[in-house]
Structure formats: C-alpha cells, structure tokens
Amino acid sequence: MMKEKCGDILSKGGLDIVLAVIHATQGDVAIQMSCCAACVILCAHPARKQYAATVNGVLYLYQGIQGHISYCPFVILAFNAVLSQILKGISYHRGKDEGSRVHSAGCLALRNTAADPKGQDTTLLLSLDQGIDLLVKILKKSDVDSILFLNH
C-alpha cells in the first residue's frame, strides 16, 4: 500500500513539490525535517528514476543545512535526504549486510565537510556531476570493512 502511494506521489511531481516546500520554508526547522524525511522515503522508491526531480534539490537542502548547521538531528536527516537523492553508491550498499555503516559514514563525512570552511570547496565539488561520480566510484569500490567506515 505504501509503495503504491509513493509511486503515485512521484508520478504527480511529488519530489519537486517536497523540494519546493523545503525551499519555501527555510526558517522552519520542523517543516524542513518533515520534508527531508519525505524526500528520503520517496527517493527509496523504485519509481524515483522514472520521476526524478526537475529542480536542484541539493541546493535547497544545502541552504537548509547552512541555516540550521548547529541542530544535529536536522543536519543528519538533511544529509540523508541529500544522499538518497543523488548518490548511487549508497543504493549499491542499501540492503546489504552492514550497508547502513556506509550510509552513516557518508552522512557524517558530508556533514563534517560542510561544517569546515576548508571543506566547503569540497562540498561545491560534490554538487557537480563529476564530483558525485567520483564519490560514487569510491563508495562502490569500498567494502563495508573499509577504513572509510570505521567511525561507526
């Protein structure tokens, strides 16, 4: 039932609508958190490829993170939404034994990168297709026992 509803929502531009709400409510962290959760759920549905977002959701999520960087629960949820929306490497590990370690490490790495002024240039790189492709290649080639994921 939930799967059918998500597919229906996606087919009606649901991901763009959720991202538009994120963009319009930058000052309200509660709405932002709810939208990030919705984004994560919608991006986990198989129809996400057929009904991909047409707006730059990563930019809207980045703006929310920038505005609420000191509120850890939101930042983690927002980075989960970013990862769910753009990183194919996470999908590669999803559902596998210990695959959640890859997801957690990726979220923490993105959060730490965005919080550090020196790392913000890296965040800009990751917003480009080439940067995303590079990160996906790294994630796909890394085993869950890799040193990359030992912080979890």
Q: What is the pLDDT of residues 113-152, one digit of tens each?
A: 666 665 555 555 555 555 555 555 665 665 555 444 444 3
The whole-model pTM stands at 0.59
CB atoms within 10 A of CB 117: 7
Domain boundaries, the chain: 1-69, 87-152
Tokens 């709400």 belong to which residue?
21
* pLDDT on residue 138: 60
Q: Give the CA-trace dihedral at 141, 133, 32, 17, to 10 degrees.
A: -120
Closest CA to 114 of 47, 68, 73: 68
Tokens of residue 102, six digits: 């890859």
Q: State mean pLDDT over 61-67.
A: 81
Specify the 3-state DSSP secondary structure of 129. Answer: helix
pLDDT, mean of residues 76-103: 68
Six token digits for residue 53: 């977002």
The enclosing H or E element of 61 equals: helix 57-67
Q: Which of 64-68, 86-90, 134-138 has the highest mean pLDDT?
A: 64-68
* Pairwise CA distance, residues 68 & 46, whole Å: 30
